[in-house]
Amino acid sequence: MDSASGPEPVITSRNLRKMYGPHLALDNINLDIPPGAIGILGPNGAGKSTLFKCLLGLITTTSGEGTVLGYDIRTEGDKIRSKIGYMPEYDALDPGLTGVDQVRYSGELLGMNPAHATRRAHEVLQYVGLKDQRYRKIETYSTGMKQAAKLACALVHDPDLLICDEPTNGLDQRAREFMLQTLKKTVSEGNRTVLMSSHVMDDVQDVCDRIVMIHQGKIVVQRRIDDLADQVEREIEISVWGGASKMQEELESRGLVVRRMGRVMRVIRVDDSTTTEIINAASNAEVQVRQMQEYDPDLEDIFLLIMDKLGAEVKGTSDLMTEAHTGGEETA
């Protein structure tokens, strides 16, 4: 974890814990989130939505404490919700309303006067790309348009902090790119803080400068994306010609840790001698090493390596997206 120096944190928590009956959904959550773009990453059921609801004061925490924009999540949930924008995971729109009426209504619920809410509804619908569709009923909207409308509702009162639960869920490539672009713009031009959850590495990598990975209700990584590579061991990638199994055995008999993907293998680099060990192993196994280079992991690899260490059954981020949501949400 990084040092606490730098700007005032927007969100903090200490030993936050949430139980649903006997089920421990969040455990020992300690957050120090500075302004910027932060991605909350984790497999299905990790606790991402639960964390958001705790931070918003929508559900009561079992123990521990936290602040959002300086307000106490246990006692000042109403203040927090009036200051921040929240884009929930599930559809929270009224199909019978037009885009403008839906967003204006959200603004009025947040205490805005009708004239101001109406003016802002037009502004934010344009901002999220729904200018031409704003007088259409929500029931005629595509999934992408509904996600954009949810974002407009979250932005209507011009919040400093935006919390988006899976903003790209169900979107096709074009809608997804537009959503990510809009979130990026909100951070860079609007100078806002965005906290977004996702299953998809690429989304987070695209928008965020920091990451919090959650696994089974616990934070496993919390740091700048640029520093993530330090979290995993460096690997040397080799590609061999013939006898890959023999090569793997030979490497493992030397105490090296190998991940094999057909002819390509990645060997954890212990020190400078690892390369020599690989060459000697190849000579013993009588295989030809076609390529050997230090492997540069991307965010997806790092995520998988970390999850692998934790014993999670995750094969790729695409796996994480296939599981259907089962609902059963607790609402305020």
The residues that touch ligand ATP, with contacts defined as CB under 6 A, are 20, 23, 25, 42, 44-50, 89, 325, 328-330
Q: Which of residues 75-114 bind Mg ion (CB under 5 A)?
A: 89
Q: Which residues pair with 86 in a beta bridge?
A: 163
- Say which entry of Mg ion, ligand ATP, none residue 42 contacts (CB below 5 to 8 A, set by partner kind): ligand ATP
Residue 281 binds which entry of Mg ion, ligand ATP, none, CB below 5-8 Å type-dependent: none
Residue among 199 and 269 whose Cβ is closer to ligand ATP: 199
> Is residue 50 involved in binding Mg ion (CB under 5 A)?
no
Q: Closest distance between ligand ATP and the C-beta of residue 114, in Å?
A: 34
65 binds, among Mg ion, ligand ATP, none (CB under 5 to 8 A by kind): none
Closest CA to 183 of 11, 8, 36: 36
By a kind-dependent CB cut-off of 5 to 8 A, residue 230 interacts, out of ligand ATP, Mg ion, none, with none
Report the nearest approach of ligand ATP to the CB of residue 182 (Å).
Answer: 21
* CB closer to ligand ATP out of 45 and 170: 45
Site string for Mg ion, 123-152 (x = CB under 5 A): ------------------------------
The minimum distance between CB 316 and ligand ATP, in angstroms, equals 15
- For 57, how many CA atoms within 13 A lie in the half-sphere containing its CB? 19
- For residue 13, what are the CA distances in angstroms to 34, 169, 210? 12, 27, 17
52 or 127: whose CB is closer to ligand ATP? 52
Shortest distance in whole angstroms from residue 117 CB to ligand ATP: 30
* Closest distance to ligand ATP from the beta carbon of 51 (Å): 7
Which residues neighbour 210 within 8 Å (Cβ) at sequence distance 6 or greater? 33, 34, 36, 37, 38, 39, 222, 223, 224, 225
Rounded Cα distance between 145 and 270, Å, is 50
Residue 45's binding partner among Mg ion, ligand ATP, none (Cβ under 5 to 8 angstroms by kind) is ligand ATP
Which parts of the chain are beta strand (E)? 11-20, 23-33, 37-41, 63-68, 71-72, 84-87, 161-165, 193-198, 210-215, 218-224, 235-241, 258-261, 264-268, 288-295
Q: How many residues bind Mg ion (CB under 5 A)?
A: 3
Reading across the β-sheet that carries 258-261, which strands appear in turn?
258-261, 264-268, 235-241, 288-295
Do the beta carbons of residue 16 and residue 26 sit within 8 Å?
yes
Q: How many residues does the chain have?
A: 332
Which partner in ligand ATP, Mg ion, none is near 317 (CB below 5 to 8 A by kind)?
none
Class of residue 172 by CB neighbours under 10 A (exposed 0-12, middle 13-18, buried 19+) = exposed
CB 24, min distance to Mg ion, A: 16
Collect contacts of 125-132 with beta carbons under 8 A, ≥24 apart. 125/99, 125/100, 125/149, 125/152, 127/152, 127/155, 127/182, 128/152, 128/155, 128/182, 129/178, 129/182, 130/99
**Measured from the CB atom, is 219 or 240 closer to ligand ATP?**
219
Least distance CB 165 / Mg ion (angstroms)? 6
- Residue 221 binds which one of ligand ATP, Mg ion, none, with CB within 5 to 8 A depending on kind? none
Smallest separation, CB 196 to Mg ion (Å): 12
Binding flag, residue 49, Mg ion (CB under 5 A): yes
Query: Toward ligand ATP, which CB reaches closer, 46 or 58?
Result: 46
End-to-end CA distance of the chain: 33
Residue number of the CB closest to Mg ion reads: 49
